[in-house]
């Protein structure tokens, strides 16, 4: 026991002697006497020119070092400067093998980082170039060094490290890139923290200011939070986060914008888990909240939580951010947007459930998922009512005037056509992007108004894989009828191929055309079958390559603002050499059924079998429509098959029965569709020939009938004479 006691006394004595020796050395040795040697050592080992203008001080309890007014120059320019550095470590904590930083103070740091025109940073020139024949040490060489066994063995031990006080103030860093003209300045950088102990929470406050030159941009930021880290440094936590960033500059149109962050976060590197609790983020009037758990930091993380964006005005947000306003036909839209969803799913897949998206007075509900491995997207969305026209740009003033003055449509149309031809044409679709899509999307809408059309019960189903995009279903109810369509786009080549098929049943054309184009010239229940193929990625190419057929029929309808009966009666009156007495002809021509086929060959639609049943007439026609020029060249005929009107001059005689009264429809249908069709006087000559032939046949028949009657009379007279003579002889 005595030996042990003497050993302990000896150890304590040695420690005390060491402490006394250090204390005496600090009291006797003045570090300022060694400034020249320190400066020479730095200049010898580096390209820096060290200048120690201030005093160097040290203390024993706490054991510390203090530097004042230090400057390092690089190639004649100041590289870094420091007003004060204080680093103090509790001496007794070193003796106890539990180092504790008492105080760390860094004040007045000023660093200048510069990249020259060749893209080389000045910090890369701090160390001197290796001597000729000497190879610089590479990272590979560093890796080949044997590991520090002691460090390796001790790495698994928890680190017991405490800091009483950290203070960084008035720090600034200037970064200049002469190759790009960019300049970034960090100044007023301040950090304060106290009672930093592993395993316990400690407060942290940071403030700074950043300014950039390209674009001109400024940020004043402040961050306040409580941080925690375990002794193994594999688990971290942030609580009470409050971060505020005041920004202004060119990205925001010179306006000031505030962004804020708040909430708590925790991460465990060993378990690969992370959690956001009550996390909020806001930018101007946009605010987001989320609670999210992440398990797995690799390629297949598993997420669980929820995300919501509070209702906000997009127009106000853009105004707050100094961005151009979105001009809409209805100025009251884009003022109430919101989003919320639950987040979950297995590892490697993000699933959204109970998804709600609000767009003003329209609400969408649905679900979706995103596969991280193959970027596959599955989406299901159902909306109630949406008026898309409210979100379209308002009509330009000159466009509105042009529509109001349709009487001057020729010049306006010519100008518009010229402008369209002068505008450069671009590709419709990004083919490379389409080839990467993996989609399965179902979309539904209770009611949609677009281009002034009202469509109900919309269903759309789309899939995409390896550049093959299919609209398997696109259907809806439209003006007492319905429609369905299927579209296939093969984008696997640079000349994408399109296949379009559509069926329309009993869609009432009058309200449709009126709402769509303010054209009320045709009514009836429309039935269409469309089968078209084409190829290309530009509008003009698609039209040129179009090939297919459209068959149609229109039941129980009428031509409005067009009286074909009057046109036919004009021709009949000419034949009858009479004048029409009727003045009120009405403005429409009813028909029972009209049908035909449009053959598509590029920009040209050709029809050869138009047939329509009218009162006492049969409409027949053929012609072409040029979509590129928006012109029509159509010849129709009104075949007289019965009485068509009560006007005496329009009486149907044997001369006009079954003849054709010609009608022509020619001109630009984009200007005045109702004024395209009229009586065709040039073709009426052929009609007159038919009428003359009918009259000749009738006259010839009359002559034959007269000759027959006259011959009959003569025969009868002769018979009577002969019979009378015989009777006389008999009686005699």
- pLDDT at position 455 is 92
| pLDDT, tens only, 492-525 | 999 999 999 999 999 988 888 777 777 777 888 8
Helix/strand/coil percent split, the chain, to 5 = 25, 50, 25
Q: Which residues pair with 619 in a beta bridge?
A: 612, 638
Of residues 305 and 654, more confidence is placed in: 305
Q: What value does the mean pLDDT take over residues 274-287?
A: 95
SS3 state of residue 244: strand
**What band does 619 get if pLDDT is binned at 50, 70 and 90?**
confident
Q: Where are the alpha helices (DSSP H) in 48-121?
A: 91-95
Ordered DSSP codes for 21-60 = HHHHHHHH--GGGGHHHHHHHHHHHSSEEEEE-S-EEEET
CA separation for the pair 633, 622 (Å, rounded): 9
CA separation for the pair 348, 295 (Å, rounded): 10
CA separation for the pair 240, 227 (Å, rounded): 9
- pLDDT at position 730 is 41
Q: Which residues of 594-633 are buried (b: 16+ CB within 10 A; e: fewer)?
A: bebebbbeeeebebeebebebebbbbbbebbbeeeeeebe
CA separation for the pair 688, 684 (Å, rounded): 6
Report how far apart, in Å, the C-alpha atoms of 157 and of each of 66, 147, 199 are: 32, 17, 14
Kindly state the helix (H) or strand (E) to which residue 695 belongs, with its residue range: helix 684-731
Phi, psi of 649 (to 5 degrees): -70, -15
| For residue 82, cis peptide bond before it (omega within 30 degrees of 0) | no
Instruction: State whether the Cα torsion 424-430-432-435 is positive or negative.
Output: negative
| pLDDT, tens only, 390-439 | 999 987 765 555 555 544 444 444 444 444 445 578 899 999 999 999 99
CA separation for the pair 402, 399 (Å, rounded): 5
| pLDDT, tens only, 177-233 | 988 889 999 999 999 998 888 888 999 999 999 999 989 999 999 999 999 999 888
Q: What value does the mean pLDDT take over residues 318-325?
A: 92
Residue 623 Rama label (left phi>0; alpha psi -120 to 50; beta)? left
If you search the block for the tokens 């919101």, which residue do you land on? 338
Q: Which two tokens mark 108? A: 């007045």
Q: Cβ neighbours of residue 310 under 8 Å, at least 6 residues apart?
A: 287, 288, 289, 338
User: HSE (CB half, 13 Å, CA atoms) of 254?
Assistant: 0
| pLDDT, tens only, 662-704 | 878 888 877 766 667 776 766 666 666 666 666 556 555 554 5
Q: Are 385 and 458 in contact (CB under 8 A)?
A: no
Kindly state the helix (H) or strand (E) to which residue 8 belongs, with its residue range: helix 2-28
**What band does 156 get if pLDDT is binned at 50, 70 and 90?**
very low
Kindly state the helix (H) or strand (E) to which residue 141 belongs, with its residue range: helix 139-144
Beta-strand runs (E) in 230-348 = 235-249, 256-268, 273-283, 286-295, 302-312, 337-344
- Closest listed residue to residue 65, CA positions, set 17, 16, 26: 26
CA separation for the pair 453, 264 (Å, rounded): 50
For residue 534, how far is the Cα from the chain centroid?
26
If you search the block for the tokens 């979950």, which residue do you land on? 344
- pLDDT at position 400 is 53
DSSP state of 418: H
For residue 47, how far is the Cα from the chain centroid?
54
- pLDDT at position 407 is 44
pTM: 0.74
Distance from first CA to last CA of the chain, Å, rounded?
201
Task: Give the percent of the chain with pLDDT over 70.
Answer: 77
User: HSE (CB half, 13 Å, CA atoms) of 132?
Assistant: 0
Q: Which residues pair with 605 in a beta bridge?
A: 600, 625
Q: Which residues pair with 491 in a beta bridge?
A: none
Q: Are 427 and 418 in contact (CB under 8 A)?
A: no
Kindly state the helix (H) or strand (E) to which residue 474 belongs, with its residue range: strand 468-478
Cα pseudo-dihedral 327, 333, 334, 338, rounded to 10: -170
**What band does 728 get if pLDDT is binned at 50, 70 and 90?**
very low
If you search the block for the tokens 């559509």, which residue do you land on? 502
If you search the block for the tokens 């009107």, which residue do you land on? 645
| pLDDT, tens only, 62-117 | 667 788 888 888 888 888 898 888 877 766 665 565 656 678 888 999 999 999 88
């Amino acid at each position: 026991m005595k030996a042990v006691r003497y050993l302990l006394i000896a150890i304590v004595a040695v420690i005390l002697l060491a402490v006394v020796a250090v204390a005496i050395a600090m009291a006797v040795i003045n570090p300022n006497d060694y400034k020249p040697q320190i400066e020479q050592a730095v200049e010898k080992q580096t390209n820096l020119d060290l200048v120690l203008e201030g005093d160097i001080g040290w203390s024993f309890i706490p054991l510390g070092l203090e530097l004042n007014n230090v400057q390092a120059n690089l190639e004649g320019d100041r590289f870094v400067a420091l007003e004060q550095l204080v680093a103090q470590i509790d001496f007794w904590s070193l003796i106890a093998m539990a180092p504790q930083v008492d105080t760390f103070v860094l004040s007045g740091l000023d660093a200048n980082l510069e990249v020259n025109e060749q893209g080389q940073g000045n910090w890369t020139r701090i160390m001197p170039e290796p001597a000729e024949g000497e190879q610089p040490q590479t990272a590979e060489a560093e890796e080949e060094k044997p590991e520090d066994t002691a460090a390796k063995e001790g790495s698994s031990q928890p680190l017991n490290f405490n800091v009483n006080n950290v203070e960084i103030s008035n720090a600034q860093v200037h970064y200049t890139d002469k190759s790009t003209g960019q300049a970034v300045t960090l100044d007023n950088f301040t950090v304060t923290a106290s009672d930093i102990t592993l395993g316990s929470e400690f407060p942290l406050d940071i403030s700074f200011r950043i300014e950039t030159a390209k674009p001109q941009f400024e940020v004043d930021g402040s961050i306040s939070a409580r941080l925690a880290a375990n002794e193994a440094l594999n688990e971290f936590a942030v609580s009470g986060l409050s971060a505020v960033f005041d920004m202004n500059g060119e990205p925001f149109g010179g306006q000031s914008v505030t962004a804020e962050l708040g909430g708590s976060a925790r991460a465990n590197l060993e378990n690969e888990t992370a959690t956001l609790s009550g996390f909020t983020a806001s930018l101007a009037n946009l605010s987001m909240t989320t609670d999210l758990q992440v398990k797995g930091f690799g390629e297949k993380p598993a997420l669980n939580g929820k995300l919501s964006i509070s209702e906000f005005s997009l127009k106000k947000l853009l105004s707050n951010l100094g961005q151009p306003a979105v001009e809409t036909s209805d100025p009251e839209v884009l003022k109430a947007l919101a989003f919320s969803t639950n987040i979950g799913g297995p590892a490697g897949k993000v699933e959204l459930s109970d998804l709600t998206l609000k767009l003003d007075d329209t609400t969408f509900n649905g679900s979706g998922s995103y596969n991280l491995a193959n970027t596959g997207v599955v989406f299901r969305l159902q909306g109630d009512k949406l008026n898309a026209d409210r979100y379209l740009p308002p009509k330009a003033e000159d466009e509105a005037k042009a529509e109001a003055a349709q009487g001057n449509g020729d010049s306006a149309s010519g100008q518009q056509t010229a402008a369209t031809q002068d505008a450069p044409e671009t590709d419709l679709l990004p083919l490379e992007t389409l080839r990467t899509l993996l989609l399965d999307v179902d979309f539904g809408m209770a009611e949609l108004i677009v281009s002034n059309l009202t469509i109900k019960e919309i269903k759309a189903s789309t899939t995409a894989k390896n550049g093959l995009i299919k609209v398997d279903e696109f259907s809806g109810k439209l003006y007492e009828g319905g429609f369905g369509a299927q579209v296939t786009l093969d984008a696997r080549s640079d000349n994408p191929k399109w296949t379009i098929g559509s069926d329309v049943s009993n869609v009432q054309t009058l309200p449709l055309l009126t709402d769509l184009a303010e054209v009320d010239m045709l009514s009836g229940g429309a039935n269409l079958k469309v089968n078209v193929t084409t190829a290309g990625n530009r509008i003009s190419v698609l039209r040129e390559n179009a090939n297919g057929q459209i068959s149609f029929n229109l039941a129980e309808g009428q031509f409005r603002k067009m009286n074909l009966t009057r046109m036919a009666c004009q021709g009949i009156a000419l034949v009858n050499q009479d004048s029409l007495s009727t003045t009120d002809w009405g403005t429409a021509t009813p028909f029972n059924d009209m049908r035909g086929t449009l053959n598509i060959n590029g920009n040209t639609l050709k029809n050869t079998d138009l047939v329509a049943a009218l009162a006492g007439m049969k409409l027949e026609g053929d012609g072409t429509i040029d979509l590129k020029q928006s012109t029509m060249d159509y010849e129709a005929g009104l075949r007289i098959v019965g009485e068509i009107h009560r006007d005496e001059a329009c009486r149907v005689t044997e001369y006009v029965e079954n003849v054709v009264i010609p009608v022509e429809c020619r001109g630009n249908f984009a200007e005045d569709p109702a004024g395209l069709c009229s009586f065709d006087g040039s073709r009426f000559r052929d009609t007159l020939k038919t009428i003359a032939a009918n009259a000749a046949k009738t006259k010839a028949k009359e002559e034959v009938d007269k000759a027959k009657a006259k011959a009959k009379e003569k025969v009868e007279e002769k018979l009577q004479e002969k019979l009378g003579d015989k009777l006389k002889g008999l009686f005699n």
